[in-house]
Structure 1
Amino acid sequence: MVKPDKQKIKHCFTTALPSYTKQAVIQQEIQQRLINYWQYYNLPDQMECILEIGCGTGGLTQLLQQTICAKQWYLNDLCDTRTYIAPLLEQQNYIFSCEDAEHSLWLKQLSFLDIIVSASVIQWFHEPERFIQHCAKALKQEGYLVLSTFSPNNLSEIVQLTGVGLDYVSIEQWQKWLEQDFEILLLKEQMIPCYFSSPIDVLRHLQQTGVNGIGNYHWTKGRLSQFQQDYRTLFKIENQGVSLTYSPIFIIAKKKG
């Protein structure tokens, strides 16, 4: 497993921005499930300040705008996605910050946020425990943390064949970190399989959603050929091509009063 290279991640996601919205079907499914949990747990729909970390092209931002009313929006992304965000929030009071969220001054200086939300982002962080600690300080008493990330089972097909993957945090570790400052309302892992016509389409999907920023696997003609052969042998699904499995973890936690 590898430690994320933030500059490579930024480059890969910036390159993937034009194709991201069309290709990131699983990420969109995760965003919708996060909103569904938001509504199920009856989280506030009226608030003063919300911070979204890793807003990207605005998939979750758009769902949030349809779900809540916030007087002040703070949005962050490692890539400059303002041209995607501006049309979504043109009637809202918002501030966009293009920076590494782990070193964001917002998380270190703010102490009045109602909710911090993020989907499919924090698996890229180097120090997720410290991030949770910063969130606890930035939130109001009884403020909410609403997150999705991924478990060690994520993209298991790719890890098995290449040995390349992130050092994902287990659900048990998330529980230990969260319970220090939060009441945990939801902490749940799910499996979301998706299917592609061929192993090459799997790799293309990862590239077009920026996920190929995970590591520095060196592809040769021989490796690519063997990868395709092994992938079909191990992960072929009758009448559905080949599989690729995402394993999101959903988190909703309330800051202790």
Structure 2
Amino acid sequence: MTTVRLAEESRHARAFERAARTYHDASRLQAEAARRLADLWPLSDVLNIKAERSSPLRILEAGAGTGHLTTALVQKFLAARSALDLPSPTRLHLTVTDLSSAMLDEARRRLAATFGDALPPDLTFVPAAAEALSRIPEVREKAPYDLISAASVLQWVADPAALFRDWAELVRPGGYVLVSVFGPDNLTEIRELSGGGLPAPEPNAWGAILGPDYELVTLECDTIVEHYPTPRAVLAQLRATGVNGLPVQECGETAQTTDASGNTSAPYPARTLRTRAGLAAWEDAYRERFSDADGRVTLTWTPVRFLARRTGN
């Protein structure tokens, strides 16, 4: 792993450690993305097979954060088990992972508060990066999994194709991976003014990125425009959800969009926001370019979600 990549992962981890207490309530869009993602998984079919074989349902979640997707998956499991009139001993083994220990602590607390005694007892929390899961003993010992899920995580992964190859060792043939990411036009307002941002494939590229180990089953895309009273409120929202942990260059600056001559093409690169004058100029430009008819400013998200089936017998 290069020095730059280590710096990126360290910055990313610190951003989410700081945001652990604010993330859950601030991440409205991520919560909705998690709920819609869970809807893609054909759980009833899987549970019928598991009940016939008297084997537990095994789920591995990467980058769980404070538990938005975890909550949605547990709710779906409990509802499906009840609707199918399966015996209550039909078990769920859930392994929840995140790079941030603080995020996992929040997830553990919130899951206990939400489900109480209904929370599946076989619930394991493991601090780990999504890229490292195939090398973690606590993760490997419960493989193969029926589902590996990751909501709003893969945008932080440098090589998603390599990640899916690693996960192929953990998910059973016929099992699923369930993923939500963001498209290349995500946070377009921030990109246009300040450059940087995280690289993202076009939505139709995910089938090729998954590779021969998977068959793409479902792919969905949205464009969601949020409205805020001020540009400063946009920044506060991004900080509250840890999105300020963007890739960095070796010099420590936020990575910028550059032209062929190496010049920054964004009019207000991140370093200009460190001064009052620079921040004020950035806010003025944001209002001028991205105000709506009511005088609020916009922030655009482009969520992408997909379900893929592990090939093989």
TM-score by length of 2: 0.75
Structure 1 residues 93 and 183: CA distance shift in structure 2, 3 A: same
Structure 1 residues 97 and 241: CA distance shift in structure 2, 3 A: same
Q: What aligned pairs does 1:1-257 form with structure 2 within 5 A after superposition?
A: 5-38=8-41, 44-45=46-47, 47-68=56-77, 70-80=91-101, 81-87=103-109, 88=111, 91-104=120-133, 105-106=135-136, 109=140, 111-215=143-247, 216=254, 217-218=270-271, 219=273, 220-239=275-294, 241-257=296-312
Q: Structure 2: any 5+ residue segments left out of the alignment? A: 51-55, 79-90, 113-118, 248-253, 255-269
1:227 positional shift: 1.2
Percent identity at matched positions? 29
Decide whether the 8 Å contact of 1:195 with 1:240 is kept in 2.
Answer: no
- Whichever residue aligns with residue 40 of structure 2, its letter is Y
Distance 2:167 2:156 in 1: 16
Distance 2:294 2:41 in 1: 36
Alignment RMSD (CA, Å): 2.2
Provide the secondary structure at the position in 2 that maps to 1:148: strand
Structure 1 residues 240 and 183: CA distance shift in structure 2, 3 A: farther
Range that drifts further, 168-177 or 11-20: 168-177
- Whichever residue aligns with residue 92 of structure 2, its letter is K
Distance 1:34 1:83 in 2: 23
Distance 1:17 1:149 in 2: 20
Provide the secondary structure at the position in 1 that maps to 2:13: helix
Distance 1:57 1:50 in 2: 17
1:51 positional shift: 0.2
Count of residues in correspondence between the two structures: 255
Distance 2:132 2:40 in 1: 28
Q: Structure 1: any 5+ residue segments left out of the alignment? A: none
Decide whether the 8 Å contact of 1:191 with 1:248 is kept in 2.
Answer: yes
Provide the secondary structure at the position in 1 that maps to 2:180: strand
Provide the secondary structure at the position in 2 that maps to 1:231: helix
Provide the secondary structure at the position in 2 that maps to 1:34: helix
